[in-house]
Structure 1
Amino acid sequence: MELREYVDLDATAIAEAIRDGQVTADEVARVATEAVTAANRSVNALVSGPFDTPLEHAADGPFGGVPFAIKDLITHAAGVPTRSGSRLLGAGVPMPADTHLMARFRRAGFATLGLTATPELGFNANTEPVATGSVRNPWNLDRSPGGSSGGSAALVAARALPVAHANDGGGSIRIPAAACGLVGLKPSQGRTTPGPDYADPLLGMGIEFVLTRTVRDCAGVLDAVHGQEPGDRYRLPDPVRPYLDEVRHGSRPLRIAIHTAPLSGHGSVDPQCVEAVEAVARELEGLGHVVEPAAPDVDAAAFDDANFAGWCSFLADGVDTIAGALGITPGPEHLEAATLACAEVGRALRASDLYATDRVFNLTRRSVAAFHQRYDVLLTPTMNVPSTAAGHLDQNDPSLDGRGWYDRIFATAGFTALSNVTGNPAISLPLGTTADGEPIGVQLVAPYTDEATLIAVAADLERARPWADRRPVHAVG
């Protein structure tokens, strides 16, 4: 296999080529290593690797031999040092065992070649940690690939990898998908396992999955890795049929709500993002769906206060747990300024504050659930802007207090966090394009546990408005 062939194949096609004997897994790994090395020189997305050989994996899995990388946050592999984007962990701490999802990735056959960059402890919509440096967007090296899964997004968008691990606590799969022109599904809370290290990462808002270039890869990976492990808090109903079948069959007629004002109440929205959503609405109407303006009834101010408390409590717990285990008193030499500020806020929270947060989350979930009794899908922009300039979200800016940092993030991403609180599945699709030819993400949200509807309509839109031939300026090959 040559590099020029590899870069045009998605994960499904690569797996088929290996199974059919057109190419060996070793050949694919060689070309992928070449591609990742070349892409990384431009985008600085890899923090460990490429490994001399891929991590052990099941050759007979549905994605046997498909090149892959894991984000350096939450999910981890036995023996591979993890750093979580922070100087607090030094050069990285080797993990004693796989997380459950990592074991599922191995069983699916993914050949892990390295770890991708994350902002410090994942709390940024850009990926520019002091620990490993700024990750750049392969569409425009002056732009950010988004965050917090920006390292994975940059390598998949640059066509160095067909798929990579990502996670999402406030938009961290969907924001990079939008900025980099990818498919980014945040599954329902509980659809993928967070164990054994967590029961509910980030008070239940953190969800693990992947970034892909095609809807069929997204569906196929979900088929391969969804499900619960003993001790997991949630046991969701299995899909009626494989998610890949939803791609083939397409969607039933849907009632779709369109809304282009930020659901969190934060910031203004770039007219190009609004235009992209409105164009998709017209496409959906042409496909036979009913589309009308509507939005869930959410108290934006209460939601933001609760989301801010949730994030700060998570950061405080993470910082103090790591520092305690390492015998460190965390300071500016270990942590970026905004991380320190948010951790300080989190330490000052009382138990009653977190119960108040949970009450707001409960009301929000119930309001959104009632909304989805009337509407099958909510259609919005993914971000307030197509992407942000590198450096715009500086997590080491000492001029910002904790709330100032939170507000700056969500002024660029006012549409994504709601689905983290409610647990609903949400997907970003690269359905728009700026005047400069860069991608614009459009978000679709479905009722809790209904990934099937989301994947089916996403596949219809991919057929109606294909994006496979759009290539970043700094793609490899």
Structure 2
Amino acid sequence: MIAEYDGWDAVAMAAEVAKGAVAPAELLDEALARVEARNPALNAVVLMQVDKARAAIATGLPEGPLRGVPFLLKDLGCEAVDFPSHNGSRLLANTVYPRDSAIFERIRVTGVVTFGRTTSPEGGVGPVTEAAVYGGPTRNPWDLSRTPGGSSGGAGAAVATGIVPAAHGSDGGGSVRIPASCSGLFGMKPTRARLPDGPYVGEGWAGMAIDGFLTRSVRDSAVLLDACAGADPGAPYWAPPLGAGYRAAIARPPRRMRIALCDTTLTGDPIHPDCRAAVLAAARLLESLGHHVEPARPAADTRGMMEAWTRIVGCGTALSIRKALAAKGRELRADDVEDVGRSAVAYAATLSGADYLDAVGRIHAYGREMAGFFEGWDMLLTATLAEPPAKIGRFDHKGRDYVDYRMGPGMVFDYSPFCAAFNASGQPAVSLPLHMTAEGLPVGVHLAARFGADEELIALSAEVEAAAPWAGRRPPLAA
């Protein structure tokens, strides 16, 4: 065992490799030993390709900023020739790819040693990770009766429990930030189109989905985002250009900012007392750092946005299932797709092309409403979720109607009323692991910035991390 492994973030681990203190093969062996010891309780790491990882080391790793660091890909997207995928679905189990995606090509150039994938829910739908294709739910290392979040829940669990220091994720409605909150990690959703989507798709969910990373430190996310930023050839649109980049941004203090404080949902409903306490404590911390914090809430139609989001994701789910069936040359079978996905297909069939375009238009209108709010503010501070991590089973896909699953009382929108707002608007947003409940559960605090202001947001995140460090926290399963 490598005693220092838990104390290193990915940047520090790569520095040890660079000076010859530890070899990539030793780090891979350590990660594999941790998978063997901890994954049976978590069910987070799947589809391991150890021979491919050892071959990459033997061939010679790229001289990138994270050379030698063990790494995992989310089992949804990030297509890679050497890493088949289930995509969270029995229908798509063991999918192979003829070429690498642009995002994977850029991840690989950092020098990481990718050795497997992490679990995701079917279709990336939902704030938990309990897909049937993996034989059971993925569990939270802080409390095995609770979820590590979704849809990048396996990534969150693997990083939180110390299997790897950082992992790939993606975020179409909070799917990086929700597991960051549930698992006690840092997670950032960049500005729309900051990272490449090609060549397999032009955009995800009408521009609402984007790749990202789950990390223990802000600087690990900064390094990975710098390595991956920029559209791939033929992308339908580009994000505003960065300045010096994410890592340069965290090397200097941000300017003092005007921060809007919202300790309710964006529609004014109360949130769990632990989540409200986390927001108010973060507000006091930001004020102590010299920022101006004042209560304010956007007037944008967030419920209407979520109704439009539900239409778009329902159509996207139906399209992915249709394409998979066409490739197999057969009709849908009873055990192909879980109940939420099957219901989404039925729901999508009730929508016309005009309905879909109207939903996209409502998303665009919401982005303009949010942009208007941010004319008076630099940041918006909220909770990441309205409650602490949910119990296993609360949001599984069994026997569920898709629309009720998303919008019904006590369901996904009530539990996660913040994150998707910034997928819709395209703005950058982060979850910071600043709070722990009395029961020992992580609760994330959410910050969102103006469109394109990624560098200001990550600089503020780094300032908060320095003022209230979280790196020393470890879940019981990591002991």
Q: Could you state the TM-score of these two structures normalised by the residue count of structure 2?
A: 0.96
1:388 to 390, 411, 415: 390
- 1:53 CA displacement: 4.5
Residue 422 (str. 1) matches residue 425 (str. 2): yes
Q: Percent same amino acid at aligned positions?
A: 38
Distance 1:52 1:111 in 2: 11
Which residues of 2 match residues 67-78 of structure 1 at below 5 A? 67-78=70-81
Which residues of 2 match residues 315-394 of structure 1 at below 5 A? 315-394=317-396
Structure-1 residue corresponding to 2:10: 11
Structure-2 residue corresponding to 1:44: 43
Distance 1:450 1:288 in 2: 20
Residue 413 (str. 1) matches residue 416 (str. 2): yes
Whether the aligned pair in 1 keeps the contact of 2:261 and 2:296 (CA below 8 Å) is: yes
- 1:37 CA displacement: 2.3
- 1:264 CA displacement: 5.9
Structure-1 residue corresponding to 2:254: 251
Which amino acid in structure 2 is aligned with residue 176 of structure 1?
Answer: P
Distance 1:223 1:37 in 2: 32
Find the residue that maps to 1:166 and give its secondary structure: strand
- 1:297 CA displacement: 1.7
Residue 456 (str. 1) matches residue 459 (str. 2): yes
Structure-1 residue corresponding to 2:272: 270
1:131 to 133, 145, 148: 133
Which amino acid in structure 2 is aligned with residue 60 of structure 1?
Answer: E
- 1:234 CA displacement: 2.2
Which amino acid in structure 2 is aligned with residue 52 of structure 1?
Answer: D
Residue 35 (str. 1) matches residue 38 (str. 2): no
Which amino acid in structure 2 is aligned with residue 427 of structure 1?
Answer: V
Whether the aligned pair in 2 keeps the contact of 1:33 and 1:50 (CA below 8 Å) is: no
- 1:277 CA displacement: 0.5
- Which structure 1 residue ranges, 5 or more long, are not aligned? none
Distance 1:173 1:455 in 2: 15
1:164 to 154, 162, 167: 167
Find the residue that maps to 2:439 and give its secondary structure: coil
Find the residue that maps to 1:237 and give its secondary structure: coil
Structure-2 residue corresponding to 1:404: 404
- 1:58 CA displacement: 3.6
Distance 1:4 1:411 in 2: 42
Whether the aligned pair in 1 keeps the contact of 2:169 and 2:214 (CA below 8 Å) is: yes
Distance 2:30 2:86 in 1: 27
- 1:441 CA displacement: 0.2
Distance 1:79 1:156 in 2: 22
Which amino acid in structure 2 is aligned with residue 48 of structure 1?
Answer: L
Structure-2 residue corresponding to 1:65: 68
Structure-1 residue corresponding to 2:297: 295
- 1:79 CA displacement: 3.8
Report how many residues are paired: 471
Which residues of 2 match residues 436-447 of structure 1 at below 5 A? 436-447=439-450
Which amino acid in structure 1 is aligned with residue 199 of structure 2?
Answer: P
Residue 312 (str. 1) matches residue 314 (str. 2): yes
Which amino acid in structure 1 is aligned with residue 265 of structure 2?
Answer: P
More deviation, 139-148/231-240: 231-240
**Deviations 1:87-143 (CA, angstroms, capped at 9, x unpaired):** 1124x1211111100000111111101011001111011100111121000001011
- 1:250 CA displacement: 2.0
- 1:167 CA displacement: 0.3
Distance 2:437 2:240 in 1: 39
Instruction: Note closer, same or farther for the CA distance 1:443–1:301 as it changes in structure 2 (3 Å cut).
Output: closer
- 1:268 CA displacement: 4.6
Distance 2:306 2:117 in 1: 32
- 1:301 CA displacement: 3.3
Distance 2:401 2:147 in 1: 23
More deviation, 231-240/366-375: 231-240
Distance 1:78 1:264 in 2: 44
Q: Could you state the TM-score of these two structures normalised by the residue count of structure 1?
A: 0.96
**Deviations 1:352-404 (CA, angstroms, capped at 9, x unpaired):** 101211221121111111111110100000001120001111112x2x32211
Instruction: Note closer, same or farther for the CA distance 1:50–1:436 as it changes in structure 2 (3 Å cut).
Output: farther
Whether the aligned pair in 1 keeps the contact of 2:302 and 2:421 (CA below 8 Å) is: no
Distance 2:130 2:436 in 1: 25
- Which structure 2 residue ranges, 5 or more long, are not aligned? none
Find the residue that maps to 1:305 and give its secondary structure: helix
Distance 1:124 1:368 in 2: 24
Whether the aligned pair in 2 keeps the contact of 1:108 and 1:225 (CA below 8 Å) is: no
Whether the aligned pair in 2 keeps the contact of 1:382 and 1:442 (CA below 8 Å) is: yes
Whether the aligned pair in 2 keeps the contact of 1:384 and 1:412 (CA below 8 Å) is: yes
- 1:24 CA displacement: 1.3
Distance 2:449 2:424 in 1: 14
**Deviations 1:27-85 (CA, angstroms, capped at 9, x unpaired):** 11111211222221220101211523417374301111111010011112114221111
Which amino acid in structure 2 is aligned with residue 325 of structure 1?
Answer: A
- 1:443 CA displacement: 0.4
Whether the aligned pair in 1 keeps the contact of 2:432 and 2:461 (CA below 8 Å) is: yes
**Deviations 1:272-331 (CA, angstroms, capped at 9, x unpaired):** 100100000011111111111112221233212211101101101111111111123224
- 1:237 CA displacement: 3.4
Whether the aligned pair in 2 keeps the contact of 1:264 and 1:415 (CA below 8 Å) is: no
Find the residue that maps to 1:131 and give its secondary structure: helix
Structure-1 residue corresponding to 2:230: 227
Which amino acid in structure 2 is aligned with residue 433 of structure 1?
Answer: M
Whether the aligned pair in 2 keeps the contact of 1:36 and 1:161 (CA below 8 Å) is: no
Find the residue that maps to 1:52 and give its secondary structure: helix
More deviation, 285-294/237-246: 237-246
More deviation, 296-305/199-208: 296-305
- 1:438 CA displacement: 1.7
Whether the aligned pair in 1 keeps the contact of 2:83 and 2:116 (CA below 8 Å) is: no
Find the residue that maps to 1:322 and give its secondary structure: helix
Find the residue that maps to 2:434 and give its secondary structure: strand
Residue 119 (str. 1) matches residue 121 (str. 2): yes
Residue 106 (str. 1) matches residue 108 (str. 2): yes
Whether the aligned pair in 2 keeps the contact of 1:156 and 1:212 (CA below 8 Å) is: yes
Which amino acid in structure 1 is aligned with residue 349 of structure 2?
Answer: R
Structure-1 residue corresponding to 2:23: 24
Instruction: Note closer, same or farther for the CA distance 1:268–1:130 as it changes in structure 2 (3 Å cut).
Output: farther
Distance 1:391 1:264 in 2: 27
**Deviations 1:393-443 (CA, angstroms, capped at 9, x unpaired):** 1112x2x32211112222211110000011101000101110112211000
Find the residue that maps to 2:324 and give its secondary structure: helix
